[in-house]
Structure formats: C-alpha cells, structure tokens
C-alpha cells in the first residue's frame, strides 16, 4: 500500500505547503517550478499591458498565480472571499477568515493577510460602508507598493468595490487580458500537470464506460465519473454534460434522472478540473447496448470523428485564427444549426483563451490571433440534425509544439461506430 510518505519520496512527510498535491501523479513534476513560471509569466504580461498591479478574486486565477487553493467552488461563488494583490515584486494573499495558514510556505506568496469580504451577504445593509473600507485598505497598500494613481487590473469584484477603489484615485482596467494571455502558453513542466490530470480522468471515464447498461440513470452514471475523479485527487467536475437517447440532441442538456434505454447513444464531455487544478477536457460518445450501433448512429459518429481529425490536422504554430476558420471542416447543412458553438478552444486550468470559431460565426463572434507553441487546445465536434434524433459529441485535447501538435488525450474511440 502506498502511504503519504511514499508519495513524497525523499522529501519526507508532507507539510502544509504541498499536502493537497501530495499524490502519485506529482512524481516527476517540479511543482515549485510550475508555480514560479506561472507567476513570472503573469508579471510579464502585466508589464506588457502596462498594468502596475492586479487584484485577482477568481479562485482559478489565484491558484494560477500562486499555487494556493481554498474551497475552490465556494470561493468562485462568494467573491471576494479571498483575493490576491500582485505587483512586479510583491505578492500578497488576502485569505478567507481563519484560513491564513493555507497560504504559508509558498515561494509565490510574500505575505498572507486576512481578507475583508466586501459582499452583501457579509455586510448586509452596510455594504456600501464595507466596500469603501475595503477600497481604503486596498488603496493604502497599493500606494505603498506601486504609488498613487497607478494602473490596477480588477476582475469579478462587485461593482461598488470597484467604483470605490477608482474613487481612491487609481486607473482601473480589466485584468482579464493579461491573465488570459499569461495562461495561454504552458511550460514543459506545466504540461506534465495537464497530462497527469488527463490520465486520472481517463481512468475515471473507463469506470464510467464499464458501468454503462440499459436501466441506469444518467445521474447514476455521471456519479461514477465524479466519484472516480475525486478518488484520483481531482478537484471537481465543472459541468454535468452527460445524456442519453433523445436528450443527446441538441447538446448542453445536463445529466438527469432519465433512465437510459436499450441501444441508445450516451454522450459525455468530461470538463474535469483534475489533478493539480488542470482541466481534462475531452468528449466521447458511447452505445448502451445490448445490440450494435445502427447505421444512422455510425454515420453521426463518423462525421464527428472526421470533423475533429480534419481540424486537428490543420492546426500548426503560426496559423492565424482566421486562417483556421477558413480551412476548418465544412459542417453539412443538416447539422449546421445544432453545431457546437466553437470549433476549438484553449484549455489550461479551465477552458480559456483562445476561442476558435467556425467560419460562419467568425464575422460576428471571431477575433484574430496566432496559434503558438505551448498552447493546449481542445478540438470540438457535435453532430446532431436540426430535425431531431440522436447526436454525437467528440473532442480531443492537444498541445501545440514548435513543429505541429502532440495529442494529449488518449482515451480510445469506439471502434463499433467506425467499422
């Protein structure tokens, strides 16, 4: 039996710093190097966009910038329960009440202070006074670190807090651009975290696949995935995108008490925030049995398979987003209305920049950019007819390299649909 001490090898017993990441999938990964790279990359993007300081309240972005985590889902919903102030040479984590110990020992955190939660649920009718107090406290620290009138990037703060900080004399900008541009390019050590998350999630999907049978509900099947992800030290499933039969088309119907029938399609999009907080995002479609797939089901699957592989094959470093849209697979008219809303998207600690749009959507939704080495991308397909019937969802996750791409998601496709 592997013990907690075994997980750390010659590092000895785990301490507060890395107990949450102390697991077999951490072997061979320099997590301190991952944390340093991410913070340095974010600081580089802040300098590029002329941002003197950022205040991050998104739990995923705090983890990206420091490696610290604390009640991730709760923190996403209750903002700003904890937040990070990052400048060119200072990192101060404002941690949730009673949780200061969680940020100690990280080389990416210079100081831990208690957070002042400026939200209505925390302050009630005194919310305006709380927001002004938060802004005054924050402004005092900012003046000390970056000076009066500095440019400060904010994200996901309630409007009153942002307005109050602006009234303190700072130039307020959106922090999303430097953060997203930083996250888009992964280091080689960071990719090891992505792969560890994928391997654990693929094992969990294997358990789900083995449990497929007519008579089980979508929720029961989805719960097997969730339990297996948590057992392998993953964080959580961001969505519940698993459905069967008539509920597979259109897409984006989350799992329910629907009982899976005989010989139905079962569609899954993992959307797992897994090991080390990295997103394992691939999609597969299965058959409930006991019979074999119909020719119609095979046709849907083969079309989705063709779309994913055509679009993977055109990806390469230096390709612009517009060029990708122009060269991407041409969706047949019958399936166009129910197409997946993206052709591909960035993937790191969650879904992220860039979004690569279909050719037909590019004029209204698309933006240009360049596919770069170090990006991890997910290539998507949903095939479902506008006039109804079942659908098929497939997706692959890959890494853009200096010469092309490397496949990261390894869960097999279903040969029964491809013969």
- The closest alpha carbon to 41, from 175, 180, 154, 163, belongs to 180
Interior angle at CA 235, CA 230 and CA 239, nearest 5: 95
CA distances from 417 to 41, 154, 407, 411, 414 (A): 43, 48, 21, 15, 6
**Residue 178 and residue 207 in one domain:** no
**Residue 320 and residue 381 in one domain:** yes
Alpha carbons within 13 angstroms on the beta-carbon side of residue 189 total 13
**Residue 197 and residue 165 in one domain:** no
Structural domain for 325, as ranges: 188-418
> Of all helices (H) and strands (E), which one includes residue 7?
helix 4-7
CA distance 379 to 192: 20
CA distance 103 to 94: 9
Helices (H) and strands (E) in the chain, counts: 15, 17
CATH classification at residue 201 = 3.90.230.10
Say whether 95 sits in a helix, a strand or coil: strand
Counting the structural domains of the chain, the total is: 2
Say whether 411 sits in a helix, a strand or coil: coil
**Residue 34 and residue 153 in one domain:** yes
- The closest alpha carbon to 49, from 214, 138, 178, belongs to 178
Instruction: State the DSSP string of 310-343.
Output: HHHHH--TT-BHHHHHHHS----HHHHTT--S-S
Where is the domain boundary, 166, 182, 198? 182
**Residue 170 and residue 211 in one domain:** no
- Report the largest interatomic distance among the alpha carbons of the chain, rounded to a whole angstrom: 71
CA distance 91 to 326: 43
Contact 154, 55 (CB under 8 A): yes
> Of all helices (H) and strands (E), which one includes residue 243?
strand 242-244
Where is the domain boundary, 182, 204, 234? 182
**Residue 368 and residue 342 in one domain:** yes
Residue 279: Cβ-neighbour burial (10 angstroms; 0-12, 13-18, 19+) = buried
**Residue 260 and residue 328 in one domain:** yes
Predicted confidence at residue 417, as pLDDT, reads: 98
**Residue 201 and residue 174 in one domain:** no
Where is the domain boundary, 182, 210, 233? 182
Residue position matching structure tokens 């491809």: 418
399's CB contacts (< 8 A; 6+ apart) are: 186, 191, 194, 374, 375, 376, 377, 405, 406, 408
**Residue 125 and residue 260 in one domain:** no
**Residue 164 and residue 217 in one domain:** no
Predicted confidence at residue 15, as pLDDT, reads: 39
**Residue 33 and residue 138 in one domain:** yes
Instruction: State the DSSP string of 273-312.
Output: E-GGG-EE--EEEEE--SSPPPHHHHHHHHHHHHHHHHHH
The tokens describing 260, both together, are 């899976």
CATH classification at residue 132 = 3.40.350.10
Task: Using 50 as the pLDDT threshold, list the residues of the chain that sit under it.
Answer: 1-17
The tokens describing 304, both together, are 């989705």
CA distance 397 to 270: 11
**Residue 134 and residue 195 in one domain:** no
Predicted confidence at residue 27, as pLDDT, reads: 83
Q: Which stretches within 146-187 are classed as H helix?
A: 159-166, 176-183
């Amino acid at each position: 039996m592997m013990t907690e001490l075994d997980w750390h090898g010659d590092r000895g017993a785990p301490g507060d710093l890395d107990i949450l990441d102390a697991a077999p999938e951490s072997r061979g990964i320099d997590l301190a190097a991952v944390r340093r790279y991410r913070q340095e990359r974010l600081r580089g993007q802040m300098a590029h966009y002329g941002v003197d300081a950022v205040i991050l309240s998104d739990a995923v972005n705090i983890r990206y910038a420091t490696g610290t985590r604390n009640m991730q889902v709760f923190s996403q919903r209750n903002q700003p329960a904890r937040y990070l102030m990052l400048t060119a040479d200072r990192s101060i984590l404002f941690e949730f009440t009673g949780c200061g110990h969680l940020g100690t020992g990280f080389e990416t955190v210079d100081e831990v202070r208690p957070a002042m939660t400026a939200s209505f649920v925390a302050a009630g009718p005194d919310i305006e006074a709380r927001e002004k107090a938060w802004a005054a406290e924050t402004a005092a620290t900012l003046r000390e670190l970056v000076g009066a009138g500095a440019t400060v990037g904010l994200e996901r703060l309630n409007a009153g807090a942002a307005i109050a900080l602006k009234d303190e004399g700072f130039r307020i900008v959106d922090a999303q651009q430097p953060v997203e541009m930083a996250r888009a390019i992964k280091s080689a050590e960071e990719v090891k975290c992505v792969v560890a998350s994928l391997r654990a999630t693929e094992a969990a999907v294997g358990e789900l696949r083995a449990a497929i049978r007519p008579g089980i509900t979508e929720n029961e099947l989805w719960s097997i995935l969730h339990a297996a992800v948590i057992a392998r030290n993953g964080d959580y499933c961001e969505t519940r995108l698993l459905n069967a039969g008539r509920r597979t088309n259109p897409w984006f119907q989350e799992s329910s008490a629907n009982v899976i029938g005989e010989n139905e399609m079962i569609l899954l999009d993992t959307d797992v925030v897994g090991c080390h907080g990295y997103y394992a995002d691939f999609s597969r479609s299965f058959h409930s049995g006991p019979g074999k797939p119909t020719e119609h089901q095979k046709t849907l699957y083969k079309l989705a398979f063709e779309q994913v592989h055509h679009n993977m094959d055109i990806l390469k470093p230096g390709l612009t987003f517009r060029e990708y849209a122009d060269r991407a697979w041409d969706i047949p008219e019958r399936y166009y209305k129910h197409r997946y809303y993206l052709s591909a998207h960035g993937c790191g600690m969650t879904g992220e920049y860039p979004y690569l749009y279909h050719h037909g959507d590019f004029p209204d939704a698309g933006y240009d950019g360049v596919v770069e080495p170090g990006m991890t991308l997910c290539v998507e397909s949903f095939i479902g007819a506008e006039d109804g019937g079942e659908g098929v969802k497939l997706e692959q996750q890959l890494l853009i390299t200096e010469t092309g791409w490397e496949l990261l998601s390894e869960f097999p496709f279903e040969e029964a649909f491809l013969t």
